[in-house]
Amino acid sequence: MSALRKVLVVDDDAVVGKSFNRVLTRDKGYVVITAQNGTEALEKMCTQNYDMVFTDIKMPGMDGVELAAEVKARQPWTPVVIITGYGTTANEARAKEVGVSDFMRKPLSPEMIEESAAHALLEPASAIVAAPSASPVEEVHAEPVEKTSTLKNVALFIAAPFVGLAYAVLLPFVGTAMLVWVGVQALRTKSAAE
């Protein structure tokens, strides 16, 4: 079984957190943790790592876009999805500027929640981490990439599932052989003692 994905849902309406908890169940590979506001969410992020964050845009204190900016500043690889009943193009533009993965408008359906979670987790890291912009004064020099290391990485990426499969297939045989060996050694010791 694969590890469960931790999802942080930040909304001052507890019903939203319960809805996410009903949709993103353990059976589907998720654990949902809720926070009532941005401050509580950031405190929770200091003590645990999350695979993704869903946040309402309109909350008391820190709004969802400000929270998304804080999350991206601390952990740029963590996908953030904005959920709101106040969907405007201005809010969507602000959210995209800070690097959110998706922008969902309420009312949310279970399908919308599942699709958004799956999409955010599949998003490549290069799309999640915004490239730093160079100032006009700076010159950016691209370093040539070694082809051998790229080929090696691609080969390892392709070989990894097969290596894992070999371990999974051979493990029962190795375990059985070890048990037989231990049993034979025990019988020899018992025979020698008699």
Which pLDDT value is given to residue 3? Answer: 78
d(CA 123, CA 126): 8
25-65 pLDDT, tens digit each? 888 889 999 999 999 999 999 999 899 999 998 888 899 99
Query: 192 is written with which tokens?
Result: 């020698």
pTM of the model: 0.61
CA angle 130–133–138, rounded 5-degree value: 155
Angular region, 142: left φ>0, alpha ψ -120 to 50, beta rest: beta
Which pLDDT value is given to residue 52? Answer: 93
Task: Assess contact for 77 and 128: CB atoms under 8 A.
Answer: yes
Per-state percent for the chain, helix, strand, coil, to nearest 5: 55, 15, 30
Which pLDDT value is given to residue 38? Answer: 92
100-146 pLDDT, tens digit each? 888 888 888 899 999 888 888 886 544 444 444 444 444 444 444 44
Which pLDDT value is given to residue 126? Answer: 41
Question: 88-126: buried (b, 16+ CB within 10 Å) or exposed (e) per residue?
Answer: eeebbebbeebbbbbbbeeebeeebbeebbeebeeeeee
Q: Is the pLDDT of residue 9 over 60?
A: yes
Which pLDDT value is given to residue 160? Answer: 78
Lowest mean pLDDT among 50-59, 74-83, 160-169: 160-169
131 or 66: which leads in pLDDT: 66
CB contact set of 192 (below 8 Å; sequence gap of 6+)? none
Q: Cis omega before residue 172 (within 30°)?
A: no
Domain positions in the chain are 5-128, 145-194
CB contact set of 95 (below 8 Å; sequence gap of 6+)? 57, 64, 65, 68, 82, 103
d(CA 126, CA 146): 19
Tell me the CATH architecture of domain 5-128: 3-Layer(aba) Sandwich (3.40)
Percent of the chain exceeding pLDDT 90 equals: 29
Which pLDDT value is given to residue 2? Answer: 61
